[in-house]
Amino acid sequence: MSVGAVMSARLVSVRPEDSVLDAIDRMVEENVGSVMVCDGPRLAGIFTERDVLRLASRRTPLDGVPVAEVMTRDPLTIDPFVSILDAAHLMSERSVRHLPVVEGEYVHGVVGIRDVLRTLVERAWRQHDGDARETAQELLRRR
């Protein structure tokens, strides 16, 4: 199964000039752990729950800081045709929980660690797939 089959096509985004507080508000409204930072149609970065925690620990004022100053620029992305197992290995190796799904210059959606784990567990259960089971266990150990 490919990443494109399990990704969330609901793209939650903010602009680089939006404040960190605006980005957090969007994340809460949409019940997501990350927002894509888009400059027009182009993916400029990603802002995640981890970024929020890092800012909070530094006592950074969340309303006056543009997302562009604190986002992850040029984030790791994945093609929609990559297999779930390969995506899981990539997420584990790079310690990321959200991967923008990009084809060319277009963002199609985002795949999260929950999407990947759910798919691996279902695959391991249905098909008695040892690779899926091992990969899911590896991801769970790294949390």
- β-pairing, 42-48 with 72-73? antiparallel
**What is the structure's pLDDT at 79?**
92
pLDDT of the chain, 143 residues: tens digit per residue: 888 888 887 889 999 999 999 999 999 999 999 999 998 888 999 999 999 999 889 888 888 899 999 999 989 999 999 998 899 899 989 999 999 999 887 888 899 988 888 887 777 667 766 676 677 777 766 65
**What is the structure's pLDDT at 142?**
63
- Whole-model pTM: value is 0.81
**What is the structure's pLDDT at 113?**
86
**What is the structure's pLDDT at 16?**
96
Rounded Cα distance, 35 and 100, in Å: 10
| CATH of the domain spanning 3-142, picked from 3.20.20.80, 3.90.1200.10, 3.10.580.10, 3.30.70.20 | 3.10.580.10
Q: Taking the domains of the chain in order of start, what are their residue ranges?
A: 3-142
**What is the structure's pLDDT at 60?**
82
